[in-house]
Amino acid sequence: MPPSKKTKPAEHLMSQVLSMAGLVEIQADAVVSRTVIAKPAGTVTLFAFDKGQGLSTHSAPYDALVWILAGAAKITLDEKTLRAKTGDMVLMPANHPHALHATQPFKMALVMIKEK
């Protein structure tokens, strides 16, 4: 059921069992994202990366949790290379440079926690 214009974008997802990996699809040569929760306290965003795609080095002012839902990725955090696969998670502290690269098609959930 698509959201109505009167509801928040992800409100139609509430109060049911969902496959996180099924809420976002890998597209050829692309990075796809879908925000499922956006609150003042933080966000939950799902991503799908085709092989070879990624996010260049950046930092965020919030602590973050990356949870690999399917596939595998190389994550660089503070110039340290981490390899993560389905079921793994990486905790990233606020204001630390990081990047992601799909070593194969992969999907992830990104949870960002904002300080007051």
pLDDT of residue 6: 45
pLDDT of residue 115: 79
pLDDT of residue 17: 86
Query: Residue 45 and residue 24: Cα distance in Å, rounded?
Result: 10
Mean pLDDT by 10 residues, the chain (116 residues): 48 85 96 94 96 96 96 96 98 96 98 87
pLDDT of residue 29: 97
Q: Which residues contact 68 (CB under 8 A, 6 or more apart)?
A: 84, 85, 86, 87, 88, 89, 106, 107, 108
The dotted CATH code for 11-113 is 2.60.120.10
Which amino acid is located at 84 in the chain?
A
Q: Would you list the domain boundaries of the chain?
A: 11-113
Query: Residue 109 and residue 25: Cα distance in Å, rounded?
Result: 13
Mind giving me the DSSP string for 34-56? Answer: EEEEEETTEEEEEEEE-TT-EEE
Which amino acid is located at 114 in the chain?
K
